Structures are given as C-alpha cells and as structure tokens.
Structure 1
Amino acid sequence: MIGFPYNKYLNAVIRVNMSSAFILMSHSKAEELNIEKSKRVYVHSCSILDDIWNVTQRPNFHSSPAIKKCVNQALDKSEINLSDVEYFDLYSCFPSAVQIAKKELGIAEEKKDLTVTGGLPYFGGPGNAYTMFSTTEMVRKLREKPESYGLITANSWFITKHAAVVLSTKPSKSYEKIDNSLVQKDINSKTIKNFTETPIGNGKIDTYTVINSRKGLEFALIIGTLENGSRFIANSEKDEALLKRMINSEMLDRKVSVSQREGKNIFNLI
C-alpha cells in the first residue's frame, strides 16, 4: 500500500537483489597487514539516539530532536562543522525523512546532493541493509578525494531510531564511544502522556494520510487532538468522496468528530 502524499517512486525499494561488504579493523591491524594508506577510511565518530518511540506520544510530527543531536554529537567529536562535510548520505526511506533531517541540521534548501548512491527510492536497499551500500559508496568517494569528510545517517521505524557516522581518509585523533544516556533521557522526557485509545467527541487533525492499494483508495488515517487536549488516532470509513477530498484539500487542523464503531476509532469531518 502507498500512503498519500507519496507515490510509488517516492518510497523505499527494498525488494532488490543486491549485496555489499566492507572490512572494519583497527589502525594497528591495518599497519600489521600493510594496508595501503590510500585505501584506509577512518571512523572519526558515530552516535546513536532514538526519538520518542510511540509516534502518537511525540510533541509534534515535523521535527526530530534525535537526528539533530545525533549528528551534532558526531560532528563535535570529529572536531568539524557541517560546512566541512564534502559528501552526504541522508537516509531516504521517504521524502519526509530527508526533509526533516535537512531542517534539523540546517542544510540549505537548495542543496540537492544529499546521497552518494541515489537513495532508497532509486538505488534501493535489501531489507534494512541500505547503509551497507551508502557506507561502501562513501568509502569510494572519500578515496577519490583524500582528507575530505563524509556524513552518513540512518533511521528506522517511523523516523524513530537514528545513527550518524563521520568518515574520512584522514586519520582520526582518537575514537571514544559517545555516552548518550542523558541526552536520550532528555528526549524521552518530552513524551506526551495524554493519549487515549478510545476517543469520543470533537477535535482536530494534526497529521494524516490516505492509503491506496492496487484497487484504489482504501481509507484515511489521522492523528489528532480532542478538545480536551487528548491525543488520538483514528481511521475513516471507505468513503471515496471523503478520501478524494482529503487528497485534494488541505486537512491539517480540520475539525473532526470521533467515535468507536465495531472496535475501531472512526472520524468524520465536521
């Protein structure tokens, strides 16, 4: 199924027959094996953070504190700025992942070269192994331009789990694992507590999508806020006129009524 506003060619392609490999070793082992210095690419730093796990409990649906802090930590540990990065590969499962990352990192809107492979919708990646390919291609790029820096990001689930790594042929001064426990605790502290599984009443749409199958329009899915401040999630019924209207008209902040029918939360526009 494909969710509006994206079409097929804006979604990740995971059913591909591809493979990738790289060898990771210490500097001392590379010296012992007499690996050519021109072929060595060093990990300068990496960081891993999660956004709030349940999407419905996030303060909003257009930001990612985790990707911002994750990348900034990696850059700080590498002792470089974003402007020092020559090559980027921002994880590109869907356009929103790239758009949110660009906004959080302060990457100029006009900058377009944000992938070294072509990205998940066009280059593809088997299952969840895409970053194996972005890493191997980044290695090639960095070998072609010695001492330049490359930044690779990854995410999983609903822009939930994030990772960032800085690479360069320039040897790193040192490598230390980043302790993210306090940063993660701060992100988690922003969790919305007032989610209800059984919403009843009027509210507004905070975000939404319309689901399409090969047979056509199926249903809409919204996350919204009731008038009492509670967050909720609800489906529409299979109403083609409603679904076309939701595709052709902006529905953010649109007022809705919500009730339960046959064990499901169902919304209607009001």
Structure 2
Amino acid sequence: MPVLVGVGQVTDQWDGTTGAAGAPSPKSLCVSASEIALNDAGISASEIDTIAVVRIFEDSVPGDRHPHGHNTNLPGTIARDIGAKPERAIYAAVGGQSPQQLANEMAARIHEGEIECALVTGSEANKASKAARKHQVEINWADSDELPVEDRGMGALLLNRNEIKHGIIAPAYFYALFENAMAARAGQTRTERRHAMSALFAKFAAVAAEHPHAQFDTSSFDADFLATPSKANYPFADPFLKWHIAQDAVNQSGALVMMSEHKADALGIPTEKRIYLLGGGEASDDYISERPKMDGSWAMKVAIDRALSQAGKTANEIGAFDLYSCFPCAVFSSMAELGIDHETETRPLTVTGGLPFFGGPGNNYSMHGLVSMTEWLRAHPGEAGLVLANGGWMTKEAVGVWSSDRPDTFSPVEPYAKPSETVPIASDVSAGTIETYTVTYGRDGPMSGIIFARTPDGERFIAVAAPEALPRLLEEESPVGLAVTAETENERNTFRFT
C-alpha cells in the first residue's frame, strides 16, 4: 500500500537588488523543499531509492535556453546535495500535469514492489532569472552529476503547423479561445464574462493572501480590481487581463516523500502523518484546433471521472479541491465536470490561491497543490481532497483523490486515454461563422485578432483579422456566431466580416 508521508515547500523573494548573494536556483530550491519534506517525514535521505523531478522551464522549450548556465542533471545534483543515493532517477516530460502524474506513477511502482521510497520534487526560479538580467547580476546555475537519469524529454508536441501559422503560439491565446467559447455557451457578453472571471478569481486571491508561501501580495485584489483594465492589470489576450493569467515570475519549490506502508511502519512514521491516494485518473487530448468542442475539456472529464470512480467517491464527498487555475476557463471547466457552482460553493476550490496569486511555477504548480492539500487533510482527518493538475492547453490532465483514511485496496491509475473523434479541418476556406475568438495585445495596444470558424459543412478553419476587421472584433460584445468571409495566402487565412 503506497502512502504519502512527508511534504515541504519553499518560496524565495530574492529580487536581485541585494546582489548575487542568496540568489536561488532551481536546484537549491528543490534541495530546500526536499529537506523540509524529509524532516516532515522524520527520515534520512538515505532511505530514498527513487527521485522524480518535474521538468523546469529552461528544459521545456526548444533550443538552448540556459542564460545562467546549464544544470545537465537536475535529479542527480538534487540527490547529491541532500545526501541521497537513489537507484533510479526520472526527469519528467513537459506539462503541468507532472506533479500529480508522478505521484500516481510512484504510488503504482510502490504498490507493484518496484520501489520502496520515492522523492518527488520540482521548482522554478524564473523570478531570480528575470531579476538577475534586469539588475545585471551574475548568477550561476551550471552543475552536473553522474547519476543515470531517465530523461523523458519534451513529450508530444502541443501545437500544430496550422495553429502556428495563424499566430496561436502563447498559452494565453489558446486559453482565450476556450474562455470565449465557454462565455458564448453561457450566453455571456465579453463584459459579463470578465466580471464572472474576476468574481471567481477574487476568491482565489483571498486564499493566496492568507497562504504563507504565496509569492505575491494579493490582499487588495478584489473583483473590481481584477475586472478593470489598469497599468497594473493590463489587457493581454481578450478577455484576459494580466491578473487573470498564471504568473511565472516566482522562486518556488515543493516536494513529496512517498513510500510503502510496510516501510512507513518499519520507520515508525506516525499514522497522523500518512495520506493515501484513494484514486487517480489521467487523460490527454488532441491539438486544440482539432477538438470537436471548444467550450470544455474532454480530457478533464475523463480524468476526473476515473479518479472519483477509483476512489469510490462522488464530487459531493470531496472536502476540498485544488483546481488548476492557470486561466479562469480551466477552473470553470473542471467545476462544470464536478457539478460545482462557484457562486454558491463553500468548500475550498484551491488550497494555495492558484497560479495567478500564489504563483505559477511552470510545470510544478500542482506540487504546491499536493503539499498544501496534504496539510489540509492532516488538519481535517477523514476528509477527502481532490487535486487536478493540467498540462498544455487543457491537453494533459492528471487527477488524484487523497485522504487520511486508509483504503482497503489500492489500484494503479489506468494509462492515458485519448479521444477518437476530431473535427475536420477545412481545406477550401471562403465563408463561415465565428466559433470562438481572441484579440491579442502588445505594449501599444491590440495586435491581432484570431478566430476559429465553422463552414456551412461543419468544417473548422482558423483565420486572422484583416486590418479593417479588427476594430469590429474589439467592439462587438458577442462576436461568436457572426458571419465572416475568408481568403487564403501562404497557408494563412484572413477574415473579414460580411
């Protein structure tokens, strides 16, 4: 029986104004969080036989993105610095699903007798990186180790040529397309949607304001602030303002210690420290432009349903949630699948405050969700908590249901599922109706308009706004459903309103 016995997390506010002294690195943050987790479990690093590390930002993008030097073996150098000598090491693939997915995997390996004690950790030091460049401070992250590592690489591509050709290259652009499709389904104008997003996220900001490890001070972030464009809260991709978006300028790390119940008994770990994985679910989806629905997430539904079913729980039996909150639509989508109405729900929807307010440390945010959920469950024995971790553009989902109550049996999470249905992409584009849209912004204001549209035959095409179409796309309160014409040049479609 696998059990989670130790957790730790750290947040560092180093901002470069004091020079290089004390500057954190991804490795140093992981070391600190791991030592806290080991101390929480009351064990030595020598007990660890497996280390699994979430992939950092610098290793999650193409090319050489190591401005402060390359740590060529992050798992090995973390293990070395905490005094561990693991038999195996894993460096995860890209995606915010990684913390929960790795926890699911370690639980399965423990259950199957492959391993006995695993350390799962991850971090980001983007705040330090940005501050060092801003203040011209030299920091050095270069390091290496000889520990053999299973490096899982970049993983599957998250966007296709068609999306890239039309400028859909930033996470906010993908999620804005979801957000506006969901608004249309709900019958909301863009103004109404912005107020709904802000009302939801004001609750998240309030949780972050009370969390000791939040990177940002969000104590003054009410719904009016979040809904109002300002110098501190500028437009990014319609309908999002800055503080509707995950903030990656963080120095944060989290860590988990998992082991077999037999080993926990042998080491004398108290029962009040133990948290069990009751059930898990994982699923992945296709490229966003090929998905039949833009107003929800098939993968999210599958992962949630599987986790609850395996745990033998309904959503009503969950005491607290940590729902991935990179953008409001991710939360709205998961709430829809769980049957939750945020306006009336009294249970916690986040135990950290979420990615815009607690902090959005790249692929590793949900490690903090797991750490904070463990702390919540220890304080609420007998309750169950659900953590939803999301990667890509609601592309890769991993869910875990956790509790201090020991289950009678444990079942490993089923392998990823993928949908069998995709939407046909139009090869001959001339006219259609808008399915969803966004307007992207730069420092000088609106940059471009992007739409997904359907032809009369139900095929989809992507198009960017002709110069004369952009003002109307900005002015319309409800552009979804409007008719457009389109023309193609060099595989790039341009639309105009009819």
With normalisation by structure 1, the TM-score equals 0.91
Q: Displacement of 1:269 after TM fit?
A: 0.9
**What code does the residue aligned with 1:208 have?**
Y
Residues in 1 aligned to 2:414 and 2:282: alpha-carbon distance in whole angstroms: 9
**What code does the residue aligned with 2:238 have?**
F
8 A Cα contact 2:307 2:401, kept in partner: yes
Per the alignment, in what secondary structure is the counterpart of residue 147 of structure 1? Answer: coil
Q: Displacement of 1:37 after TM fit?
A: 1.0
Residues in 2 aligned to 1:46 and 1:69: alpha-carbon distance in whole angstroms: 11
Alignment partner, residue 158 of structure 1: 393
After superposition, the C-alpha distances for 1:40-83 in whole angstroms (9 at most, x for unaligned) are 111111110113x1111111211222212211211121112211
Q: Which range is displaced more, 161-170 or 101-110?
A: 101-110
The match for 1:248 among 475, 483, 487 is 475
Per the alignment, in what secondary structure is the counterpart of residue 31 of structure 1? Answer: helix
* Number of residue-to-residue matches in the alignment: 261
The match for 1:132 among 351, 367, 376 is 367
Q: Which structure has greater strand proportion?
A: 1
Q: Which range is displaced more, 209-218 or 103-112?
A: 103-112
Alignment partner, residue 230 of structure 1: 459
Q: Which range is displaced more, 219-228 or 85-94?
A: 219-228
Residues in 2 aligned to 1:199 and 1:235: alpha-carbon distance in whole angstroms: 16
8 A Cα contact 1:65 1:104, kept in partner: no
Alignment partner, residue 19 of structure 1: 253
Residues in 2 aligned to 1:202 and 1:237: alpha-carbon distance in whole angstroms: 14
After superposition, the C-alpha distances for 1:74-121 in whole angstroms (9 at most, x for unaligned) are 112111221111110110110011111111221124226310000111
Residues in 2 aligned to 1:238 and 1:133: alpha-carbon distance in whole angstroms: 44
Residues in 2 aligned to 1:24 and 1:243: alpha-carbon distance in whole angstroms: 53
Give the ranges of 4+ consecutive aligned residues of structure 1 lying more than 6 Å apart after TM superposition: none
8 A Cα contact 2:429 2:461, kept in partner: no
8 A Cα contact 2:282 2:415, kept in partner: yes
Alignment partner, residue 43 of structure 1: 277
1:191 aligns with 2:418: no
Per the alignment, in what secondary structure is the counterpart of residue 259 of structure 1? Answer: strand
Which structure exhibits the higher relative contact order, with contacts defined as CA atoms closer than 8 Å and separated by 6 or more residues? 1
Sequence identity (%)? 34
Alignment partner, residue 221 of structure 1: 450
Alignment partner, residue 64 of structure 1: 297
8 A Cα contact 1:89 1:115, kept in partner: yes
Residues in 1 aligned to 2:428 and 2:358: alpha-carbon distance in whole angstroms: 42
After superposition, the C-alpha distances for 1:233-263 in whole angstroms (9 at most, x for unaligned) are 1111345xx4343233110011011112455
Q: Displacement of 1:229 after TM fit?
A: 2.8
The match for 1:98 among 331, 339, 355 is 331
Q: Displacement of 1:155 after TM fit?
A: 1.1
Q: Which structure has greater helix proportion?
A: 2
After superposition, the C-alpha distances for 1:174-201 in whole angstroms (9 at most, x for unaligned) are 21123356xx35xx22212x203x5431
Residues in 2 aligned to 1:199 and 1:217: alpha-carbon distance in whole angstroms: 29
List gaps (5 residues or longer) in structure 1.
Answer: none
RMSD: 1.7
**What code does the residue aligned with 1:34 have?**
G
Residues in 1 aligned to 2:358 and 2:428: alpha-carbon distance in whole angstroms: 42
**What code does the residue aligned with 1:87 have?**
A
**What code does the residue aligned with 1:234 have?**
A
